[in-house]
A and B are shown apart, each in its own frame.
Chain A
Amino acid sequence: MQRDDQRDEVEMLALMLLIRRFEERASQQYQAQKIGGFCHLYIGQEAVAVGAVAATRPDDYIITAYRDHGHALARGTSANACMAELFGKETGCSRGLGGSMHFFDKTNHMYGGHAIVGAHVPLAAGMAFASKYLGEDRVTLCFFGDGAINQGSFHEALNLIALYKLPAVLICENNLFAMGTSVKRSTSLKQIVDRAEGYDIPGDILDGMNFREVRDKLAEIIISIRKDSHPAFVEVRTYRYRGHSMSDPASYRTKDELEKYRLDDPIIRLRAQLTREGRLTNEEFDSIDKKAKETVLAAVKFAEQSPELPVEGVYDYVYANSVAAGVSFAKSGGPAADTAATIG
């Protein structure tokens, strides 16, 4: 059931479609060599980010790993800013300095985009620690993949989060593969959620292809955390349709497996639910989809036409000025490497 305090489901469906179309276009632009570096697509997993965000307040903290386009878009970062980031432009959400794996958006409380597997889980602990320290009732949502759960930083962070009773929801997006290694070949557990039990953190398994299930369960968890700070863990079972990154043909899995998940597509599923309930017509869906495609096309145009940072601007992003300490480490003098390194 949709509660009053939850954002409109049609709007959420539109967001999922926007992510899908954005990623398709990103893939195309990557192949056209407009996008550099590594690029990991979120196609298939849309219900996780959108379902989770639908359960949060806008000031709750969101932090995720490198497959981050969907989380930023779900959080409200514009398609323009996201596409421009992929293009390395100054108008990107990280001014073209972070790229695909490092989307940041302070205004929308999106704290990255972190590309070292598991290394951001301690950061999430710190963000949740800060909320508790400051007496706020914000909740930190930390997304990571099934590959992160065997990393030391993940374990250290879970212990700290449990020990200090921090207001954090640990969201494992289990898409069955850490790059090309299946969970069965990487993890000694029968099910990932059992990791939480080792730290005395309550855990649940959610169907990541089901928007409503993700949203409703997380909403319930978040309400409980706001009342009395504690951590929670959810294993959200999902699937990425594409390879690990753009360079991965995903030959380690079968076509049948992919097809099975495609039939259970999160967008098709929410669309069917809404249609069945008489809340969405085919025409309305088509119009939403058309709008998503247009938004993304406009984003490509925006990214193409946006400027890049001037090269000497790179020194502006090494140190923040330290006015409080009475010492200025302000911009140094351009690309004369020695001098710049001395000052900063």
Chain B
Amino acid sequence: MREITYRQAVNEALAEELERDPNVFLMGEEVAEYHGAYKVSQGLLERFGPKRIIDTPISENGFAGLGVGAAMVGLRPIIEFMTFSFSLVAFDQVVNNAPNMFMMSGGQFNIPITFRGPNGPAHQLAATHSHATENLYASVPGLKVCTPATPRDAKGLLKTAVRDDNPVLVLEAELLYSSKGMVEPPDEELLIPLGEAQVKREGSDVSVICYAQTVSLALAAAQQLEEENISAEIIDLRSIKPLDEKAIFDSVAKTHRVVIVEQDRPFCGVGAEVCYRIQKNIFDALDAPILRVSQEDVPMPYNERLEKFVLPNADKLMSAVKKVCYA
């Protein structure tokens, strides 16, 4: 194991998959000559050439659809969205073409495509550039959605996504690109299955279910809660769809209390689905109502203080945990 950044981890995953399979190519805005808007594709153009690392014009609908078409005839495209806020311009391709093709062709055409890029609020990017899209996409049958929170997961989930025979969205996060973490050395194949959550920290009093940018928030809170004699178990979902129900239920059966901290919005958010499944399946295990911490139900303001208020934060999380623990 060695310590690398999330950015390097994504870069390694891309390079390894490009190296392994000649039918894999990377396409998107500024991925080649500019090395990626967030420098994720640094060095790939030099290594794999312009045939496989392809700059596009600003045409998300066009190049996302190009990827789907290429996937129909045997290639395995990796389509980068500069941010998933821009994927909304390509919504028709991601939602109507990629995941529907298998069904409407009677199983003749599966679409092995990876859509990836940063997702969710970053810092003061305001309403148009701060979308957390995981609940939108996870609601679409035929899509798979993962949300790596660590460099190791970023690498392992992306490599799995590229090898998957279905459309997979790998939702990275701008604020995580420079974060560091331990990852297996490059000569060791790292594949992390979709649909496997991870217990980031064991605890006995409350299950805090989180993913992506809220994982570090939850871990920091757990530290603080420990000082107040509350033992929090931290579950990183890693994949939103498929969802690892077992990991969730196992934890809840142990702690009997749940707080879901998610980076998306409250109405029809990821937490709403998780909450439904918990109460449906292990209602009797619960000692308190499930609480959710998410964004406020408003478009993202630019003002730094207001943005902070809108985002899930440590104060909201701490207070939710204490509430379910009746502390």
Q: Name A residues whose Cβ lies closer than 8 Å to a Cβ of B.
A: 61, 63, 92-98, 102, 104-106, 111-114, 116, 119-131, 133-134, 152-153, 156-157, 159-160, 163, 316-327, 329, 338, 341-344
Contact = CB atoms under 8 A, between A and B. Distances in A.
A316 B65 CA distance: 24
Contact of B65 (A97, A105, A113, A119): A119
A341 B141 contact: yes
A160 B97 contact: no
A122 B191 contact: no
A122 B103 contact: no
Nearest to B196: A327
Contacts of A156: 57, 59, 61-63, 65
Residue of B56, B74, B104 with highest tally of chain A CB at under 10 A: B104
Given A122-B66, A319-B142, A61 B166 contact: no
B109 to A, nearest CB: 6
A58 to B, nearest CB: 15
Contact of A124 (B61, B69, B77, B243): B69
A153 B62 contact: yes
A325 B191 contact: yes
Interface of B: 25, 51, 56-57, 59, 61-75, 77, 92-93, 96-97, 101-110, 112, 141-142, 144, 160, 163-166, 191, 193-195, 242-243, 245, 277, 280
15 contacts: A94-B106, A102-B105, A104-B105, A123-B65, A123-B72, A123-B97, A125-B62, A126-B68, A126-B75, A130-B70, A130-B75, A156-B62, A317-B103, A342-B242, A344-B242
B164 A317 contact: no
A112 B105 contact: yes
Contact of A129 (B70, B107, B243): B70
A126 B65 contact: yes
Nearest to A325: B163
A273 B209 CA distance: 74
A98 B103 CA distance: 7
A128 B67 CA distance: 11
B67 A126 contact: yes
A95 B107 contact: yes
Contacts of A120: 65, 97
B23 to A, nearest CB: 8
A116 to B, nearest CB: 6
B97 A119 contact: yes
A133 B23 CA distance: 9
A327 B165 CA distance: 11
A55 B115 CA distance: 36
Given A122-B65, A125-B62, A322-B163, 15 more contacts: A94-B108, A95-B106, A98-B106, A113-B104, A122-B69, A130-B73, A153-B92, A160-B57, A317-B106, A319-B142, A320-B110, A326-B193, A327-B194, A327-B195, A329-B166
Contacts of B68: 122-123, 126
B67 A98 contact: no
Residue of A113, A120, A127 with highest tally of chain B CB at under 10 A: A127
A338 B104 contact: no
Nearest to B73: A130
A122 B61 contact: yes
Given A119-B65, A322-B166, A338 B110 contact: no
B165 A322 contact: yes
Contacts of B191: 325-326
A94 B105 contact: yes
A329 B142 CA distance: 11
A315 to B, nearest CB: 10
B62 A122 contact: yes
A329 to B, nearest CB: 7
A104 B141 contact: no
Contacts of B195: 327, 329
Contacts of B71: 126
B105 A327 contact: no
Nearest to B27: A129
B180 to A, nearest CB: 27
A104 B106 contact: yes
B160 A327 contact: yes
A99 to B, nearest CB: 8
B141 A126 contact: no
Contacts of B69: 63, 111, 122-130
Contacts of A92: 106
B141 to A, nearest CB: 5
A117 B166 CA distance: 24
Contacts of A133: 25, 51, 70, 75
B96 A116 contact: yes
A318 B102 contact: yes
B290 to A, nearest CB: 17
B93 A322 contact: no
Contacts of B242: 329, 342-344
Residue of A104, A129, A157 with highest tally of chain B CB at under 10 A: A129
A281 to B, nearest CB: 41
A160 B70 contact: no
A106 B166 contact: no
